[in-house]
Structure 1
Amino acid sequence: MQAKGEAAAAAGSFSARAMSAVWLQVGQCGNQIGQAWWQILSSEHVPHAEADRYPFCSPDGKLNAICVDSEPKVVRQLQKQVKRGSFRESNLIVGKRGRGNNWAYGYHSLHSASEENLLQRTMESLRKEVECRDCYCGTVLFHSLSGGTGAGLGSRLCEAIRDEYSLGHILAVTVAPHQAGESALQHYNALLCLSWLQRHVDGVLLIQNDEVLRRAAALLAETAQVSDVQPQVSLAAMNAYIASCLAGLLYPLKAFTTGSGISMGLEPWELLRSVCPVPAMKFLRVAQARRRGTVFWDSLASSVVHSLPRESHAGQSLHYSTSMLAVARSYQEDTFLLSRDSVLRKLKQAYRCVPWNPFPLRCWTDSLNVVEPGCPSHSLTVCANHSSSAELLQQVVGRAQAMYETKAYLHWYWRYGCEEEDFQQAFETLRSVADDYSRLGE
């Protein structure tokens, strides 16, 4: 009987790990966010139960991460993790030269055997990871809109994964560049990449660098009040904030986990089911507030909605949400439950949930705040399918259209295989999505 019990426990443990996602990091930005993400999850202060490992690890204990870049600099930093046994070395896939911040170069990349090999090696690693598990549920992609690798190769990989694994979900964690400009080609890259995401993925956590900068500065300012240190917002601090938001949303919850260690929620995909009720509208906004010590949940809710845009920049229309998810994590979980109704009411009012959705807001709670597990801490993370995403789409379309009409830089795209049809279809796709979001309040 004891042997049977041990076998059953082993089977449950294997299932917990085998039912998992594949985490795909593409380009410099995607790999930097991925490193911040794994740093949170691998902290020695996080009490990892076997069930908590299922979305992240294969049966051999290696992380389900595939790290891809056309240049070796960022990915090479993960070699220490390979030596520690965390990463599979065959899943660190690098090229010999960059993609020139050019979506077309990253997407097509068919000009030599080595360029073609980058795509093939990634799909081969993905195939092996998929075959390691009993049930492949989907892929989470980390990437940016502005770079040639993150935007171009990221788009190509989304298309290839959708074709090869049509039943699996794809969740994109997509970083939009600063509006002030990071590259002369960023508007074209963002236009083409966003249109590919609209066609091939199930949900897009659209993270805007300008907003992340403001949020990270606010968190550092709170720390400075305690330590009297003048805050300096670094790239690492911005990546840490993004990773913290992801941990708030995607780290396993005990409420979704059975005694055998199998999660019934499969959080990345339950997130999509919660906030993407209309398949055509899949662009998501995420914000988080954290506190240490005594918690006042109404105050945390106010911090989350503080910088939420209530109306368009032109003031012509109000913003609305089709659906929302709030995740509260605290070692004093009961304190949130006591404030739950007032917090959710505040969030509903601020995010303006549409009247036609009878259940627009879902709420999850857990007793572990994985971002700061070693101290009394609390976090409130809110993910909303919010119409403010349409403003970014409209800005991208407007600026790309102005460049396109003057034929600025187009020769770089024709050179690497783009055609006018690609641009025209991208313009049409994003305009259609923006129009759908603009009609939410009607």
Structure 2
Amino acid sequence: MTQSIVVQVGQCGNQVGCRFWDLALREHASVNKKGIYDEALNSFFRNVDTRGGVDGADVSSGKICSLKARAVLIDMEEGVVNELLQGPLQEVFDTKQLITDVSGSGNNWAVGHNVYGSQYRDQILEKLRKTAEHCDCLQCFFVIHSMGGGTGSGLGTFVLKVLEDDFPEVHRFVTSVYPSAEDDVITSPYNSVLAMKELTEHADCVLPIENQALVDIVNKINQMASSGKLGASMKLSSTVTSGHGGIKTQEKPFDAMNNIVANLLLNLTSSARFEGSLNMDLNEITMNLVPFPRLHYLVSSLTPLYTLADVNVPPRRLDQMFSDAFSKDHQLIRADPKRSLYLACALMVRGNVQVSDLRRNIERLQPSLSFISWNQEGWKTALCSVPPVGHSHSLLAVANNTCVKPTFIELKDRFVKLYRKKAHLHHYLQIDGMEQSCFTEAFNSLTSLIEEYDKLDATKGSLADAPRLSIAV
């Protein structure tokens, strides 16, 4: 059994990470009734039970203190991490695997990347190595961070480079939360574009999540619930939207949004944690979904986004779940993949769903989707028998699709508006190692990325045009 390590950076990264661990424990508890430390738990948890002190010991006492998350928590403001250590999950986190400061990064990528990166590099590397030493077969690092602030964007991408330098054979999956246009951090376009260059160069896969898309999804669910349109078919205690569990019992504004991102990660890792008739290795995602190394930004959609009251799933509702996964309302970025070009697509299904259901729905949906000319059958599928808690079934669709381009174009435009006025630039240039050329290079990197997507859209990715892009080996 392989193991993965979660690296949570910044306020957003740690809040989303907290949700992931909370919901992951619920899932394992619902399956592992006897509380035995098994291979499923071993994938993301290690057992440090004081009675045995080794992996595989009995943890049937019911105390989660014998389980420690395979996680490294980093934040240059200690508030969120301190809340985690005082909350219901406090015993899950190893206090030796935390790195905090008190002053924060001042919403400045350069402070997070250059100042704190240099200051904490040795500590970060030591924590990562210690965590890796507890793994028999380390398969993947999951980095969770936001793009708009200073610590998440700056130190988060610095950690990514450390991982590439010191663990080059281990895949690097990054979940990046992108700010909305109305973001209250005025410098978020600078931070995001500077971070984008690092993600493009050093990540294996990036799952971009847009704050505004999450807001829209949560608002839509709340409106449907309050209007009664869903009737008795909806449970308000959905693990996707519920704010219970995690840091504190009092719900916070971003709890429902963070839960959606956490559920994305739960579904993405379900095959690594549970048995299934058609399991998907995490490395297979990069192998099958990333034909060009720079174009590794994968669009994700999740369905259902609320819990249905009935357990018996009629075929009509199952088919609707597949249809929803390709609708713009279920995408975790504001995009319509059906109007753009697919390079490849992975469907990760959980619950009592058959291979025949998968095949039937792929055949039904295929004519309405535009796949690149040299990968018309570019589907990767996975079936995990264990559904998320509160659901009878679920589907995560992860697609390499050119519909990410408008998100990048909008980010580029917001960057240009600030940069033309040289607004707030002096806050960055006063940091050692930061020069104006850093902004130019980051801007050019993003522009080049957009142009690569343009080429694919213009030609539908015909084989004649493929040599213009470097193909991943």
TM-score interval (norm. to shorter): 0.7 to 0.9
1:64 equivalent to 2:70? Answer yes
The Cα shift of 1:50 comes to 1.6
Q: Match for residue 440 of structure 1? A: 456
Which deviations, in whole Å up to 9, do the C-alpha atoms of 1:255-283 show, x marking residues without a partner?
8779xxxx98543x332223212212011
Instruction: Name the CA shift for 1:381/1:394 in 2 (closer, same or farther; >3 Å).
Output: same
The 5 Å alignment of 1:127-138 reads 127-138=129-140
1:236 equivalent to 2:265? Answer no
From 20, 37, 41, the counterpart of 1:53: 41
Q: Match for residue 285 of structure 1? A: 299
The Cα shift of 1:116 comes to 4.6
The Cα shift of 1:118 comes to 3.3
The Cα shift of 1:254 comes to 7.8
From 16, 22, 25, the counterpart of 1:39: 22
Q: Match for residue 170 of structure 1? A: 172
Q: Match for residue 154 of structure 2? A: 152
SS in structure 2 of the partner of residue 388 of structure 1: helix
Q: Match for residue 51 of structure 2? A: none
The Cα shift of 1:429 comes to 1.1
SS in structure 2 of the partner of residue 58 of structure 1: strand
SS in structure 2 of the partner of residue 46 of structure 1: helix
Q: Match for residue 399 of structure 1? A: 414
Instruction: Name the CA shift for 1:345/1:234 in 2 (closer, same or farther; >3 Å).
Output: farther
Q: 2:90 & 2:77 partners in 1: Cα distance?
A: 23
The Cα shift of 1:306 comes to 2.5
Q: 1:71 & 1:35 partners in 2: Cα distance?
A: 16
Q: Match for residue 8 of structure 1? A: none
Q: Match for residue 355 of structure 1? A: 373
From 256, 259, 268, the counterpart of 1:249: 268
From 190, 193, 199, the counterpart of 1:191: 193
Is the Cα contact below 8 Å between 2:22 and 2:89 reproduced in 1? no
Instruction: Name the CA shift for 1:303/1:234 in 2 (closer, same or farther; >3 Å).
Output: farther
- How many residue pairs get aligned? The number is 406
1:416 equivalent to 2:417? Answer no
Is the Cα contact below 8 Å between 1:81 and 1:87 reproduced in 2? no
From 217, 220, 225, the counterpart of 1:218: 220
| One-letter amino acid matched to 1:399 | R
Instruction: Name the CA shift for 1:55/1:349 in 2 (closer, same or farther; >3 Å).
Output: farther
Q: Match for residue 333 of structure 1? A: 353
For structure 1, which segment, 413-422 or 94-103, has the greater mean C-alpha deviation from structure 2 after superposition? 413-422
| One-letter amino acid matched to 2:402 | S
Q: 1:85 & 1:255 partners in 2: Cα distance?
A: 24
Is the Cα contact below 8 Å between 1:253 and 1:365 reproduced in 2? no
Is the Cα contact below 8 Å between 2:147 and 2:192 reproduced in 1? yes
Unpaired segments ≥5 residues, structure 2:
49-66, 243-251, 460-473
Q: 1:339 & 1:257 partners in 2: Cα distance?
A: 15
The Cα shift of 1:81 comes to 6.5
Which deviations, in whole Å up to 9, do the C-alpha atoms of 1:143-180 show, x marking residues without a partner?
00001000000111111211112222111000001122
SS in structure 1 of the partner of residue 69 of structure 2: coil
For structure 1, which segment, 357-366 or 43-52, has the greater mean C-alpha deviation from structure 2 after superposition? 43-52
Instruction: Name the CA shift for 1:322/1:394 in 2 (closer, same or farther; >3 Å).
Output: same
| One-letter amino acid matched to 2:292 | V
| One-letter amino acid matched to 1:20 | Q
Is the Cα contact below 8 Å between 1:321 and 1:353 reproduced in 2? yes
The Cα shift of 1:207 comes to 0.5
The Cα shift of 1:92 comes to 2.0
The Cα shift of 1:138 comes to 2.8
In the superposition, the TM-score normalised over structure 2's length comes to 0.78
SS in structure 2 of the partner of residue 166 of structure 1: coil
Instruction: Name the CA shift for 1:432/1:308 in 2 (closer, same or farther; >3 Å).
Output: farther
For structure 1, which segment, 125-134 or 342-351, has the greater mean C-alpha deviation from structure 2 after superposition? 342-351
In the superposition, the TM-score normalised over structure 1's length comes to 0.84
From 94, 98, 109, the counterpart of 2:115: 109
Q: 2:376 & 2:188 partners in 1: Cα distance?
A: 39
Is the Cα contact below 8 Å between 1:326 and 1:380 reproduced in 2? yes
Instruction: Name the CA shift for 1:136/1:340 in 2 (closer, same or farther; >3 Å).
Output: closer
Q: Match for residue 97 of structure 2? A: 91
**Identity over aligned pairs, percent:** 24
Which deviations, in whole Å up to 9, do the C-alpha atoms of 1:205-234 show, x marking residues without a partner?
0011111122233344455434798x9993
| One-letter amino acid matched to 1:199 | E
Q: 1:406 & 1:437 partners in 2: Cα distance?
A: 28
Is the Cα contact below 8 Å between 2:147 and 2:153 reproduced in 1? yes
SS in structure 1 of the partner of residue 68 of structure 2: coil
Is the Cα contact below 8 Å between 2:280 and 2:381 reproduced in 1? no
Instruction: Name the CA shift for 1:314/1:253 in 2 (closer, same or farther; >3 Å).
Output: closer
Instruction: Name the CA shift for 1:39/1:350 in 2 (closer, same or farther; >3 Å).
Output: farther
SS in structure 1 of the partner of residue 39 of structure 2: helix
Is the Cα contact below 8 Å between 1:82 and 1:89 reproduced in 2? no
Q: 1:349 & 1:279 partners in 2: Cα distance?
A: 28
RMSD: 3.0
From 178, 202, 206, the counterpart of 2:204: 202
